[in-house]
A and B are shown apart, each in its own frame.
Chain A
Amino acid sequence: MWQYTLKRIFQGIITIWFIATATFVAMHSVPGDPLSSERATTPAIRANLEERYGLNKPILEQYALYIGSFLKGDFGISFTQRNRQVNDIIREHFPVSATLGILAVTFAALGGVLFGALTALYRNRLPDTIIMFLVILGISVPSFVFAALGQLLLVNINNLLGFSLLPVAGWGTVAHMLIPALVLGMSTMAYVTRLMRSSMLEIIHSDYIRTAKAKGLPAGRIFTRHELRNAILPVVTVLGPAIATITTGGFVVELVFAIPGLGRFFVQAVQQLDYTVIMGTTVFYGAFLVTMVILVDLLYGWIDPRVRVQ
């Protein structure tokens, strides 16, 4: 187990290095540069700015400096927002995205497991049909439609009640988070429900469930102890990638609900060619995702001993 963990961590570090390099290469092949805007008015000012951001050095030296500062955990200074550290931007806006993402994953996992188990228990009966119809809807409707509809619904509910039940947009309190998180988690919830259903159906027909029934265990105990626990295993594996899609998928939800998350900053930075912010955010996100996937893998090995043996 320890050897496996160390191997995964080592692989993770190399992956993060690859992400950093890919970002660097991508950013340096962009036509135009961040100084071509109004700030570099004269050649002298331009030279000074290039000096400050290290853009006048040879590309390999820039690369070495870039990797070196990443190792120190320093992502540099923003090009467009004067004297603002990229670290500060991340520190300020990432918690917002992360809170939203964690809440969305929680909704998706809890709802998915619950609905998936329900559909398997009521297979080919009304609850199954209804939930599977909703699942197909959840997979097929783009998140921005859910976001727009969710907002429209909130406006109408608030109008109908005459007071603000839940805020329509913005950020700050738990009330602000509920609907965006639900919208964000919707497609993952649908996916988890589907997975849970098929995994549950497989387990219901397995030998040990028949044994459990034969020795007279009550149905509730079979459900919680044997069926649910074993059926959840495949769900855990998709949670790692799900966190990835949910945190980046948050862009749209952040846009529609006016949430000051990192996604909005990233899009803005790309439009303004803010080199340091783009590179910092991408590498940070990449590192975050790699860490999440490794954690989920290790968690899986801990939950399911069969994986550990291999």
Chain B
Amino acid sequence: MNEPLIPALTPEDFTPVHQREDVHGLSRPSRSYWQDAWWRLRRNRRALASLWIVVGLLAFALIGPLLWRVDPARQDIDQISQAPGADRSAVIVAPYQPWSGQPTAAAPVQEGVLRLGDVPTSQAVRLVWDALPGASGYRVYRNDYPIDAGMAFGLPIIDVMASGGGHYEDRLNLRPGTYYYSLVVLNEFGEITDRYETRQVEVPRVITEDEVRQRGLVPEEQALALGDTVYLAFHPLGTDYLGRDVLARLMSGARVSLFIGIVAPFLYVLLGVIYGSTAGFIGGRLDQLMMRFADFVVALPFLLFMILFQVVFGLGPGQSGIIPMMVALVLLQWPATARLVRGQILQIRQEAYISASRLLGAKTWYLVLRHMIPNTLGVVLVTLTFAVPNAIFTEAFLSFIGMGVAPPTASWGSMSNEGLATMLTHPHELMFPALFISLTVLAFNLLGDGLRDALDVRMRSVE
């Protein structure tokens, strides 16, 4: 009796086994590449903060000038190199009257040889002195700093070759603040001796009624009397060495710096993408040739050629120098992106999904648009973000050495350049633009790091 090879089958054997529904369903909603990248970026707190800083800077450049309506080129000659928060009050006085040389009734009573002949104001400082025995003449000096032993007397203002007492009226470029006047005795040859006397003079800011009206510091209808206090124009971040409002200049400088910093990288990254993808896609000898040319351009000494191009494109009168700088940046900076994109394209061409797509009958254009470009876009975006701080640095650097934007156009770099001269006495003129450059570069660098971590799986930084 033969045993059947297959045991007897019952209808039950043909009922489907219990299906586990849970393994088939999606446990999470499906996310596209860009949704995933956005999700990663949002979880990166540093990148998100820098994204907000970038938005803030753009708002500062675009909306700022609409809110703070001060002409960045207007010079406030009463307030030159004023630090933020400096005293803006001015007392109204009568217009300037010539002085006879005799101490006036209002003159403060003082001890010593060198005395004030009148109330000192930013209009004039009037000095009188008594005769000193043995003196053939006197020299008056003015200094911004106290006179210590062995220190300089400061700016020599006048020599008076008369042995008797004398007087002098100082109206030379007076600013509100403290001055130290020194009277030095001269011998018969007109040489200074070691006998001197120094007087500290506090100079308050004064203004005449005409000037107040002319500059529109008070409403038309307001009555003014001598001795009233008026306030000069308000400059929240101070003024520069020509009395221009630093905040307004920072805003218009932001437009220039951010324009160059964002548009130039956008253009050269675009050029690099076109060049690199063409080379990578065509391949063969043309690819070799194109990449060799890119290698040559990389080898050009970058800053030297930036400066050369600035000159080549020439600056006519009234031009700002922004366009030459953009052209130079684009001409010199595209090869890095071109190399990167070419490498990406060559790599993607080898991928199995491209072959699969080809097998299914995809045309070249479909492959490029559907697979190649979207798959390189992440890398390109990261390159673009890192290119922005680079371009901003280059602009600042060139403007700093005086080969960038032409005055009176303000950029953060040219403002830093101007601020360098007054760094010791008025550091705010250098510090504010430098702070903005640093903040922008920092924000774009951190954003670039975040984008790279979010978009590029292979280049994700090690933590």
Contact = CB atoms under 8 A, between A and B. Distances in A.
Interface of A: 11, 14-15, 18-19, 22-23, 26-27, 29-32, 136-137, 139-145, 148, 151-152, 155, 198, 201-202, 244-245, 248-249, 251-252, 255-256, 266-267, 270, 273, 278, 281-282, 285-286, 289-290, 293
B450 to A, nearest CB: 13
Interface stretch (B80-88, B309-317, B344-352): B309-317
B133 to A, nearest CB: 37
A142 B434 contact: yes
B301 A248 contact: yes
Nearest to A31: B314
A115 to B, nearest CB: 16
A284 to B, nearest CB: 10
B218 interface: no
Nearest to A256: B420
Contacts of B427: 152
Given A144-B400, A251-B401, A256-B420, A286 B441 contact: no
Contact of A140 (B401, B423, B445): B445
B299 A18 contact: yes
B304 A139 contact: no
B311 A273 contact: yes
Contacts of B420: 144, 148, 256
Contact of A26 (B309, B400, B416, B423): B309
A265 B241 CA distance: 27
A268 B266 CA distance: 32
Contacts of B402: 267
Interface of B: 295-296, 299-305, 307-312, 314, 389, 393, 396-397, 400-403, 416-417, 420, 423-424, 427, 430, 434, 437-439, 441-442, 445-446, 461-462
A285 B304 contact: yes
A30 B314 contact: yes
Q: Give the interface centre of A31, A281, A293 by most chain B CB atoms within 10 Å.
A: A31
A183 to B, nearest CB: 14
Main secondary structure of the interface of A (DSSP, over half): helix
Closest 8 CB pairs of A and B: A140-B442, A248-B303, A18-B296, A145-B434, A140-B441, A201-B462, A31-B314, A15-B299
A241 B400 CA distance: 23
Nearest to A144: B400
B416 A144 contact: yes
B356 to A, nearest CB: 30
Contacts of A152: 423-424, 427
B462 A282 contact: no
Nearest to A23: B308
B399 to A, nearest CB: 10
A249 B390 CA distance: 13
B301 A244 contact: yes
24 contacts: A18-B296, A19-B296, A23-B308, A136-B445, A139-B441, A140-B439, A141-B434, A144-B396, A144-B400, A145-B416, A151-B423, A152-B427, A198-B461, A248-B302, A252-B400, A267-B401, A270-B307, A270-B308, A282-B308, A286-B301, A289-B299, A289-B301, A290-B299, A293-B299
Contact of A282 (B301, B403, B423): B301
Contacts of A266: 304, 307
B308 A198 contact: no
Given A139-B445, A282-B304, A15 B438 contact: no
Contacts of B302: 244-245, 248
Given A22-B305, A139-B445, A142-B396, 6 more contacts: A14-B296, A19-B299, A140-B442, A152-B423, A266-B304, A286-B299
A144 B445 contact: no
B424 A142 contact: no
Contacts of B434: 141-142, 144-145, 148
A14 B295 CA distance: 11
Nearest to B396: A142
A31 B314 CA distance: 7
Contacts of A202: 462
Given A29-B312, A142-B416, A145-B434, A248 B304 contact: yes
A157 to B, nearest CB: 14
Contacts of A273: 311
A141 B314 contact: no
A22 B296 CA distance: 10
A22 B300 contact: yes
Nearest to A205: B462
B416 A281 contact: no
A27 B401 contact: no
A302 B437 CA distance: 41
A249 B389 CA distance: 16
Nearest to B299: A15
Nearest to B419: A148
Nearest to B393: A142
